[in-house]
C-alpha cells in the first residue's frame, strides 16, 4: 500500500432492541442485544487476521462494545471518538417513523425527501451531520497513512462514507444496504475516499439480519 493511502474498514454496530422495533436511536445510548453481542464476536473473528493497525469507535455503547470485541481479538486498544456518533435526532429519538409521520407530518416529509437543511428540534441537520462524519473520517485516516484502520460506527455514518466515496449527493435516495456488523472497505488518499467493497456479511454465515433500511423507506437514515 502507498505510504499516502489509508485502508479503512467501516463497520456498523451489532443489533439492538430498537433495531428490531425500528425506533430512531440517534444519540440515545442503547446497548447491544444478545444477538448483537453474538454478531460482534463473529465480526471480531473475521477481523482477527486482517492486519489492522488501529481501531476507533463511536463512544455510544452499541458501537463501543462492538469495537471492543474486535479490539480483544486483535490485541489493539480501542480508541473512542464522538465524531463517529450517529446523527442527533433530537426529539424524534425513541419514535418509529410512522409515529413521526403522524405527529409531525411536515418534518416527516422533509426527512423522507432528505432535505439537507432539515434538522429535528434539538438535533442535527443532514448537512451538518454529513460534514461531521467526513471530517472525522479524514482526520482519523490522515493519522494513519499507509495503515489499515477500522472505524466502528452507525448506519447513518456509513451512509455518509458511501456517498463521499461514490460522489452521491445527500438528496439522492439510498439504494445500497447497511447491515449490522457488515464490513465495508474504503481507501483514503489526499484526493479523497474511494470504494473497495461494500456490505460483506459472510462472517455471519448467511444470517438474514436487519438492513438499516429494512422498514422499506430508503430515503430515511436513522440508526435503527
Task: List, by residue number, the catalytic residues.
Answer: 13, 86
202 CB-contact burial (10 Å; exposed 0-12 / middle 13-18 / buried 19+): exposed
Q: Do residues 101 and 90 lie in contact, with contact meaning Cβ atoms separated by under 8 Å?
A: no
Show the 3-state SS of the chain: CCCCCEEEEEEECCCEHHHHCCECCCCCCCCECHHHHHHHHHHHHHHCCCCCCEEEECCCHHHHHHHHHHHHHHCCCEEECHHHCCCCCHHHCCCEHHHHHHHCHHHHHHHHCCCCCCCCCCCCCHHHHHHHHHHHHHHHHHCCCCCEEEEEECHHHHHHHHHHHHCCCCCCCCCCCCECCCEEEEEEECCEEEEEEEEECHHHCCCCCCECCCCCCCCCCCCC
C-alpha–C-alpha distance, residues 36 and 31, integer Å: 9
Query: What would you report as the CA-atom Rg of the chain, rounded to the nearest whole angstrom?
Result: 16
Amino acid at each position: 500500500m502507498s505510504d499516502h493511502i489509508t485502508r479503512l474498514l467501516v463497520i456498523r454496530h451489532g443489533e439492538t432492541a430498537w433495531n428490531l422495533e425500528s425506533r430512531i436511536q440517534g444519540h440515545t445510548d442503547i446497548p447491544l442485544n444478545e444477538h448483537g453481542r453474538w454478531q460482534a464476536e463473529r465480526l471480531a473473528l473475521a477481523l482477527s487476521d486482517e492486519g489492522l493497525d488501529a481501531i476507533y469507535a463511536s463512544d455510544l455503547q452499541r458501537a463501543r462494545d462492538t469495537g471492543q470485541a474486535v479490539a480483544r481479538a486483535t490485541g489493539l486498544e480501542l480508541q473512542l471518538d464522538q465524531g463517529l456518533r450517529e446523527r442527533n435526532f433530537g426529539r424524534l429519538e425513541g419514535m418509529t417513523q410512522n409515529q413521526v409521520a403522524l405527529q409531525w407530518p411536515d418534518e416527516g416529509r422533509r426527512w423522507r425527501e432528505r432535505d439537507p437543511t432539515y434538522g429535528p428540534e434539538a438535533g442535527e441537520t443532514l448537512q451538518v451531520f454529513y460534514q461531521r462524519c467526513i471530517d472525522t473520517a479524514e482526520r482519523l485516516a490522515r493519522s494513519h497513512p499507509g495503515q489499515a484502520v477500522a472505524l466502528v460506527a452507525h448506519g447513518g455514518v456509513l451512509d455518509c462514507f458511501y456517498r463521499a466515496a461514490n460522489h452521491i449527493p445527500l438528496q439522492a435516495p439510498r439504494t445500497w444496504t447497511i447491515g449490522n456488523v457488515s464490513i465495508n472497505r474504503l481507501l483514503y488518499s489526499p484526493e479523497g475516499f474511494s470504494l473497495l467493497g461494500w456490505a460483506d456479511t459472510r462472517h455471519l454465515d448467511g444470517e438474514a439480519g436487519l438492513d438499516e433500511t429494512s422498514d422499506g423507506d430508503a430515503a430515511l437514515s436513522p440508526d435503527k
